[in-house]
Structure 1
Amino acid sequence: MAWKSRTRNLQVFDTELTADTVEWCPISSSNNILVCGTYELEKGNATPSRIGRLYLFEYRQEASMSPPLSELQRMDTAEVGCRLQPLSSLEVGAEQLVLSLDWSTGRMDCADVRVVCSDSAGCISVLSLAEGGLKSLSQWKAHNFEAWISAFSYWDTQLVYSGGDDCKLKGWDLRISPSCPTFTSKRHMMGVCSIHSNPNREHILATGSYDEHVLLWDGRNMQQPLSENPVGGGIWRLKWHPTHQYLLLAACMHKDFHILHCQPALEGSGGACPVVASYKLHNSLAYGGDWCHMSPESQVPVFLPYDEPEESLTQNGGHLTIQYELPTASVYTSLEDDVRRHTPERIAVPSPKCSECPALNSVDLHSVSYLLASCSFYDHMLHVWHWDWDPDECQQESEQS
């Protein structure tokens, strides 16, 4: 299936410590704020210790001639401007590592704000966030081994899902005793690593596993998934698009980042979800990824011929240039033409191979561009990138199939 789709790298940032999570701020007044979390195990001492660092960034949309992402703060430095600061903390248990965290506000409903987290002892904890800080509401043993992931149903936040290294996906109703799950699924063949409730489509749930499959579920019937999608690599994180009900981002550990279009499965055909775009510029485990919540802009993307790799910028008549900026550890990528002149992001670079293909060179007023961030583990890298696509053509392709 041919899609008008392309990914474009904007900037690469060295996080120094191994990077495992990125999150864009969902609040409309701060949609351009990005946080990246890092983790490292120090093995030099007799007793290994764990360290981590949070980075706070601002994305500046108008910065076309300079790196669009600027670092505002690290937790171990003092900076001026937008800042992170600890408000409250709560220990879930001695020697227990918190492995995942989800807010009850996935649909931007700020009433009764709660947090659910999973930990290395296989426990799930539900916390409330009030003026006095975090307060534990309940905690229970959910899995025999590590509970890799926990998540709310954003449409009914009394429902919680969890997945663990025991290969089980479980559901819980907070209105009844958590000693008994509402369901237990063994549909995944390996540890369940990722769960995300669709904020734009009621009852829909996506799960991912070390078994390299993304499963889509209807929460009203957890006996059989709506769709099974072999993506590869081990699915560490899944993120539904904040406003588009069919788009799902998958961080596939050993096999890059992929965007799935889930309309066939959600409309009842039962078919697999096609991969409409892939981002393959990371050189290590694809661990964290997220969509920016800013509204997409209509752009003039430089679409490649359908038989060309979508990452091949040089075949579009331009050269990808890496510019290092020290000491910020920021790496900025830009597109230059054959005489090394900077090509602004919004201007198409002529492609000799497309000179006889007016459909590919024409301005597509229906195309949009989404901003994403992703991070990889062992090479400790944060990437910010665009995905350009034509949703109208995607809709037509889905209807024909």
Structure 2
Amino acid sequence: MAWKSKTRSLQVFDTELSADTVEWCPVSTGHNILACGTYQLQKGAGEEDATPCRTGRLYLFEFQHEGLTCPPLTELQRIDTAAILDLKWCHVPVSGKALLGMAAATGELQLFSLSDIQEGSRSLQTLSSLEVGAERLALSLDWSTGRMDRCFLFIVSSSDVRLVCSDSAGCASLISLAEGNLTALSHWKAHDFEAWISAFSYWDLQQVYTGGDDCKLKGWDLRVDPSRPTFTSKKHSMGVCSIHSNPHREHILATGSYDEQVLLWDGRNMRQPLSESAMGGGVWRLKWHPTHQHLLLAACMHNDFHILNCQQVLEGSGGACPVAASYILHNSLAYGADWSQLSLGKPASCTPTAAEPKGIDTESRGHLRIQYESPTTSFDTSLEDDAGGYIPECIAVAPTPPTAGEALNPEADSPSLSCLLASCSFYDHMLHVWRWDWTPDKAQQLH
């Protein structure tokens, strides 16, 4: 079936420091909350062998796309920290609060809670921290709560939640959250070099996956000796840096590597992947869509951000997953990317006001403002009015996107899907918020 696909930039934000991770809050009360982490390497002054300093900043944003006079993203908070390698929200509220985990260059796993500081405003409060190892960088983390379904509806205390973390010494750590405090349960050597990524199987919480710079993908059973992996795969030819368990389909796993390949796996047979898709850039992060089992978002370092349609592979047809959409407005390493669970409704009406002359072509109204210029001479732009006010994308684009009620259910052949996403790039220190509209070709539906 043919599809019409369109990506549109909604806003660009300069993070000042190199941006490498971005995460929308998955908890229902915080779907409009976005966190972004940065990593900046400051070379030591003076002696050539001086230890470099790694600094970072944690940003908290709120997304509101209701008005026509200001950009939709509002900065709520910034926290100067050690350099941030990874951020992940707990998928369910714990003791009534949304929790954010951070993997830091100090070798620490840090935990924040999202709190209401006053009516209509929220902020992150430090909750707990744990050093996973001396003289190493914490590189990744994952929560055991990724399925977000009935299995976790009754989580009311932190003792039900676990995390896994990997580090630059090639180790993995299993951590519990008891009474709001992070506690190490086990720690083991997983890879010969940097363990870039660690992840839970969301369907079997005794199963953990890790990927490392030794080009190996490994599985671990937390009930047995962690020195012996349940499997070791060498199907990736370079470092494995992304792993994500599908929260909707049992046994389905996606992995990405510096070898520029996305592999889909059936966890019951890790000898051979179900599918191999060439991405044209190292695959630093992979994210399954929060509600649609066949959509996979990939941050591809030197080759932008892409959304894969994995439906045929999941139905058993095999072959590479086609790219359903691409977002190409970044001009540096594509590192962080995530889906929001916010419902995108129909854009606000663009009816001219009394002060505006009627009959203006909405596709040309407003002044083009260049928000930044890159070394590649590519530009990201927005529209502003005579007073310098922001004009949302809906005014600049003639076609009306589908309403939230028309969200795509691929199994039922529903008509369309609209998604809100965020992505960030490294050396140009940019955070982008964008939308993707996906509509089937009606002519094709007749066949």
**How high is the TM-score relative to the length of structure 1?**
0.84
Superposed CA offset, 1:31-89 (max 9, x none): 00000000111113332111111000000121333110000001149x96311121111
RMSD: 3.0
2:417 corresponds to 1:368: yes
Residues 115-136 of structure 1 show CA distances to partners (whole Å, capped at 9, x for unaligned) of: 1010000000010012140000
Amino acid at match of 1:283: N
**Is this contact kept in 2: 1:21–1:38, CA < 8 A?**
yes
Paired letter, 2:71: P
What secondary structure does 2:128 align onto?
coil
Higher relative contact order (CA 8 A, sep 6+): 1
Question: What does 1:204-283 align with in structure 2 at a 5 Å threshold?
Answer: 204-283=252-331
Aligned counterpart for 1:195 among listed residues 223, 238, 243: 243
Name the amino acid aligned to 2:13: F
Q: CA deviation at 1:333?
A: 4.8
Instruction: Report the AA paired with residue 341 of structure 2.
Output: H
- How far does residue 297 in structure 1 lie from its aligned partner after superposition? 3.4
Matched with 1:303 is: none
- CA–CA distance in structure 2, aligned partners of residues 107 and 348 of structure 1: 38
- Equivalent position to 2:338, from 290, 304, 310: 290
Q: What does the per-residue CA deviation read over 1:88-133, in whole Å, with 9 as the maximum and x for residues that have no partner?
A: 1110111110111111111122642111010000000010012140
Structure-2 change in CA distance of 1:167 and 1:76 (3 Å) = closer
| 1:171 Cα deviation from its structure 2 partner | 0.3
User: Out of 97, 100, 103, which is 2:143 matched to?
Assistant: 103
Instruction: Specify whether residues 155 and 341 from structure 1 end up closer, same or farther in structure 2 by C-alpha distance, changes over 3 A only.
Output: same
Contact 2:210 2:218 in 1 (8 A): yes
Q: CA deviation at 1:229?
A: 0.2
In structure 1, what residue type is equivalent to 2:22?
A: V
**Which residue number in structure 1 is paired with residue 199 of structure 2?**
151
Deviation per CA, 1:318-356, whole angstroms, max 9, x where unpaired?
A: 88833669xxxxx9954589xx99875445745xxxxxx
The within-5 A match list for 1:52-67 is: 52-67=56-71
C-alpha contact (below 8 Å) 2:70/2:389 kept by paired residues: no
- Please give the alpha-carbon distance, in whole angstroms, between the structure 1 residues aligned to 2:347 and 2:4: 13
Give the Cα separation in 2 of the matches to 1:68 and 1:348.
15
Amino acid at match of 1:58: E
3-state SS of the aligned residue for 1:253?
coil
For residues 158-200 of structure 1, the C-alpha deviation after alignment (integer angstroms, 9 at most, x for no partner) is: 1000000000000001111111000000000000010000111
User: Which stretches in structure 2 are left out of the alignment for 5+ residues?
Assistant: 82-116, 349-362, 373-378, 407-414
Q: Does the aligned pair in 1 maintain the 2:142–2:198 contact within 8 Å? A: yes
Amino acid across the alignment from 2:20: D
Structure 1 counterpart of 2:31, which letter? N
Alpha-carbon distance in structure 2 between the residues aligned to 1:324 and 1:6 = 21
- The percentage of aligned residue pairs carrying the same residue is 70
Residues 128-207 of structure 1 correspond to what in structure 2 (within 5 A)?
A: 128-207=176-255
Structure 1 residues 99 and 318: CA distance shift in structure 2, 3 A? farther
Give the alignment of 1:73-88 within 5 angstroms: 73-76=77-80, 81-88=121-128
Is the partner of 1:29 in helix, strand or coil?
helix
SS at match of 1:61: coil
Alignment of 1:320-359 (within 5 A): 321-322=368-369, 333-335=381-383, 345-346=393-394, 349=397
Q: Indicate conservation of the 8 Å contact 1:297/1:368, yes or no.
A: no
Compared with structure 1, are the counterparts of its residues 48 and 343 closer, same or farther at alpha carbon in structure 2 (3 Å cutoff)? closer
1:180 aligned partner, one-letter code:
R
**Matched residue count:** 366
Gaps of 5+ in 1: 301-315, 326-330, 351-359
The answer to whether the 8 Å contact 2:401/2:437 transfers is: no
TM-score, with structure 2 as normaliser:
0.75
